[in-house]
A = this chain, B = another copy of it.
């Protein structure tokens, strides 16, 4: 069953603390370590309470995703006056934030969890992650891109497609490699450079004709 209305998927502070413990457990030990007894032990609560609050194990997983999504808030850009440089700066900041979010251990653990459950039936977890994760951060990008197009600094037909292009240039196969467990401690330090290069390429593709960054 769906976790109530989208406007109020919140839980009590105690339950949030339990979900926090569960997330820590998941990050540390992977899905295999995320047993109901383990969650109860880590959160100093009883299994019976877990089942009363969340229904069953899948309910706990769903609640964890919703809880984590509620923590990551996408602040809207104050729609200042966009110049060529400020647009590029905003895009670079967005790109770096995107890389940082995707490389976060909680994000990686939740994505691994949802992917592991994807092959099963309904499962909803993948859909939830997609909805709360990508849709949110995509909205922020979409607003930024639309603002850029409105002031004629960007040119594209489909906003979704433009966002897909930006996403691909920024992330490439980094996300998958991180999900597969590749060590990214070195690559993380070059996220800023990577973000700049990706944005430059994106502006070359979707920027106004005469406004390329480096002539």
Q: Which residues of A contact B (CB under 8 A)?
A: 29-32, 109, 111-112, 114-116, 118-120, 123, 126-127, 129-130, 134, 164-165, 167-173, 175-177, 179-182, 198, 201, 204-205
Determine whether the beta carbon of B32 is less than 8 Å from that of A180.
Answer: no
Determine whether the beta carbon of B164 is less than 8 Å from that of A172.
Answer: yes
Query: A126-B181, A167-B172, A175-B176 provided; 14 other pairs, C-beta below 8 A?
Result: A30-B119, A32-B119, A109-B119, A112-B115, A112-B116, A112-B118, A115-B116, A126-B182, A130-B182, A168-B170, A168-B198, A171-B172, A204-B205, A205-B205
**A182 / chain B contacts, CB cutoff of 8 Å:** 126-127, 130
A52–B121 Cα gap in the complex (Å)? 33
A156–B95 Cα gap in the complex (Å)? 22
Known: A115-B112, A201-B205. A130 touches B164 (CB 8 A): no
- Chain A at the B interface: SS class: helix
22 A-B pairs in the complex with CB atoms less than 8 angstroms apart: A31-B116, A31-B119, A32-B119, A111-B176, A112-B116, A112-B119, A115-B115, A118-B180, A123-B181, A126-B181, A127-B180, A127-B181, A129-B180, A130-B180, A130-B182, A134-B173, A164-B173, A165-B172, A167-B168, A169-B169, A171-B172, A173-B175
Q: How many copies of this chain sit in the oligomeric assembly?
A: 2
Closest Cβ of chain B to A212, distance in Å, is 11
Choose from B120, B175, B181, B198 the contact partner of A119 (Cβ within 8 Å). B181
Determine whether the beta carbon of A172 is less than 8 Å from that of B168.
Answer: yes
A198–B201 Cα gap in the complex (Å)? 13
A32–B121 Cα gap in the complex (Å)? 12
